[in-house]
C-alpha cells in the first residue's frame, strides 16, 4: 500500500467503522491518526490493518476490531494523571493508545512470545511510559495497585473481586463479562471506597483471558 492509500484506509476505518459506533470524542479520533495501527499488525496481515476484523497476532490470540478499541478508549476517558493496569498486552496496540493519554500503563501478558513482540512494537513506536510484565493477571495484579483504570482485553465469565479491590476512588474498569453467546461490555466505576457503579455498554464477544475466573456451577 502506498502512503496515500494507507491514510485513505485509516480515514475510511474512522468514518465508516468507528464513528457509527458512537465514537465522537475528537481526542480519541485524533489518537487513531497518531498511533499507527499498521505498525502493530503482524506483517502477514498488513493489508487488513484497518479492516473490521479480529486480526490474528499469533499464539492463538487476536486483536480487538478497531471499533471496539476506539469505543473502550472513549468510555474510559483516560486522563494524563492516570495509572493504568492492562491485563493482556497482545500486540501492544491498545497499550500504546492508553499510554498516549495516561501517565503510565502497567500491562501484564501471560505469553512470553507475545510480550517480547509487544515490547518490540512499542519500542519502535517510541512509547516509553509502559511497563510490560510477564504473568497471569486474570485475578488482578497487586504489584502497582491501586489503579485509576483497569482494562481486561480478554473476556471473563465472572469479574473477580480482586480487580474491584485494586481500584482507586473514581477509577474505571472495563471488562467483557459472560459466556458465549451472551457477553456484556461492562464499565465499572468506583464512586467511593467499596462503592461501585456498573453499566453494560453493549453486547459483544471476545475470546476469554487465559485462566479466566469461571462462574459458580449450579447443579440440581
pLDDT in tens, 109-157: 999 999 999 999 999 999 999 999 999 999 999 999 999 999 999 999 9
Extents of the domains making up the chain = 3-203
The predicted pLDDT at position 1 comes to 66
Q: Are 133 and 106 in contact (CB under 8 A)?
A: yes
* Block residue for cell numbers 485475578: 139
Dihedral Cα 31, 32, 38, 42, nearest 10 deg: 90
The predicted pLDDT at position 3 comes to 79
The predicted pLDDT at position 218 comes to 40
State the greatest distance between any 2 C-alpha atoms of the chain, in Å, as a whole number: 62
As to burial, measured by CB atoms within 10 angstroms (0-12 exposed, 13-18 middle, 19+ buried), residue 133 is middle
The predicted pLDDT at position 6 comes to 94
The predicted pLDDT at position 170 comes to 97
- pLDDT per residue as tens digits for the range 173-190: 999 999 998 999 999 999
Checking if the pLDDT of 65 tops 60, the result is yes
The predicted pLDDT at position 214 comes to 82
The CATH number of 3-203 is 3.40.50.150
- pLDDT per residue as tens digits for the range 106-121: 999 999 999 999 999 9
- The strand pairing partners of 105, in sequence order, are 84, 130
The predicted pLDDT at position 4 comes to 82
Taking the model in full, what pTM does it have? 0.95
* Block residue for cell numbers 497499550: 95
pLDDT category of residue 220 using cuts at 50, 70 and 90: very low
Amino acid at each position: 500500500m502506498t502512503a496515500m492509500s494507507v491514510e485513505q484506509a485509516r480515514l475510511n476505518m474512522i468514518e465508516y467503522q468507528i464513528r457509527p459506533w458512537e465514537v465522537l470524542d475528537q481526542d480519541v479520533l485524533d489518537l487513531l491518526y497518531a498511533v499507527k495501527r499498521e505498525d502493530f499488525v503482524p506483517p502477514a496481515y498488513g493489508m487488513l490493518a484497518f479492516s473490521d476484523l479480529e486480526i490474528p497476532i499469533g499464539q492463538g490470540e487476536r486483536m480487538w476490531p478497531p471499533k471496539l478499541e476506539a469505543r473502550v478508549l472513549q468510555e474510559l476517558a483516560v486522563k494524563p494523571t492516570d495509572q493504568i493496569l492492562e491485563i493482556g498486552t497482545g500486540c501492544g496496540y491498545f497499550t500504546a493508545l492508553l499510554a498516549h493519554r495516561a501517565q503510565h500503563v502497567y500491562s501484564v501478558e501471560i505469553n512470553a512470545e507475545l510480550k517480547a513482540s509487544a515490547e518490540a512494537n512499542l519500542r519502535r513506536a517510541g512509547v516509553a511510559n509502559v511497563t510490560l510484565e510477564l504473568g497471569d493477571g486474570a485475578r488482578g495484579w497487586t504489584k502497582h495497585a491501586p489503579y485509576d483504570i483497569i482494562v481486561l482485553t480478554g473476556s471473563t465469565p465472572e469479574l473477580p473481586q480482586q480487580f474491584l479491590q485494586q481500584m482507586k476512588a473514581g477509577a474505571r474498569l472495563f471488562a467483557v463479562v459472560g459466556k458465549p453467546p451472551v457477553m456484556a461490555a461492562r464499565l465499572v466505576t468506583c464512586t467511593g471506597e467499596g462503592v461501585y457503579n456498573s453499566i453494560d455498554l453493549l453486547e459483544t464477544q471476545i475470546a476469554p483471558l487465559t485462566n479466566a475466573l469461571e462462574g459458580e456451577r449450579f447443579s440440581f
